[in-house]
Structure 1
Amino acid sequence: MVKELVRKHQDLEIYKMALDMAMQIFELSKKFPVEERYSLTDQIRRSSRSVCANLAEAWRKRRYEAAFVAKLNDCVRGACRRQAEAAETQTWIEFSVKCGYLDVEIGRELYGTYNQILSGLVNMINHSESWLMKH
């Protein structure tokens, strides 16, 4: 990834991937049963969107390494001791497949993409100094 071309969070490949996944999950979850509206459907949509929201907020906080890393950790681990937003989404994907709401192959693809997102976020955390704004 060429960092010098990244001017806003929307330029980050990891953000684009997370946004695409959130939109794909939104479209797929439209077919979930109505009785899942306030449980599985809302949860999978919320967690997938939270990855993008936390990453956008982290990008705005990159003036200070501790704040930047803390917000990236929210993407990975989740705030308030919740599961990681990306990992939580993987759990909801697994439930969706097991309940028969998602095709197994689609579930595998989504799950695998979230593994790539998690890997990218961890890489940003481990190399946070290269993403910071220069004072």
Structure 2
Amino acid sequence: MKKFDFENYRFEDLEVWRLGMKIVHEVYKTIKKFPKEELFSLTNQLRRASVSIVLNI
């Protein structure tokens, strides 16, 4: 069995992490178009949920 090289491991190189970051950027870009009354409710929840994707990888 091949040993995993932990010293050269970077999560930023994972395709799934990169896709998660694209989701975060798209969510933040979309949220800017939301009405101001949603600023502290729906937008906050969407931000936290999108960031949670990459933080859990």
TM-score (normalised: structure 1): 0.36
Correspondent of 2:24 among 14, 22, 25: 22
CA RMSD of superposed structures (Å): 1.6
Give the gaps of 5 or more residues in structure 1. Answer: 56-135
User: What is the 5 A alignment of 1:61-100?
Assistant: none
Do structure 1's residue 50 and structure 2's residue 52 form an aligned pair? yes
Alignment of structure 1 residues 97-116 onto 2, 5 Å: none
Identity of aligned residues (%): 35
Q: Equivalent residue of 1:38, what SS?
A: coil
Greater share of residues in helix = 1
The aligned runs of 1:26-41 (5 Å cut-off) are 26-41=28-43
* Deviation at residue 54 of structure 1 after TM alignment: 1.8
Question: Which TM-score applies when normalising by structure 2?
Answer: 0.80
* Number of residue pairs matched by the alignment: 51
The CA distance in 1 between the partners of 2:31 and 2:49, in whole Å, is 13
Deviation of the 1:26 alpha carbon: 0.3
Gaps of 5+ in 2: none
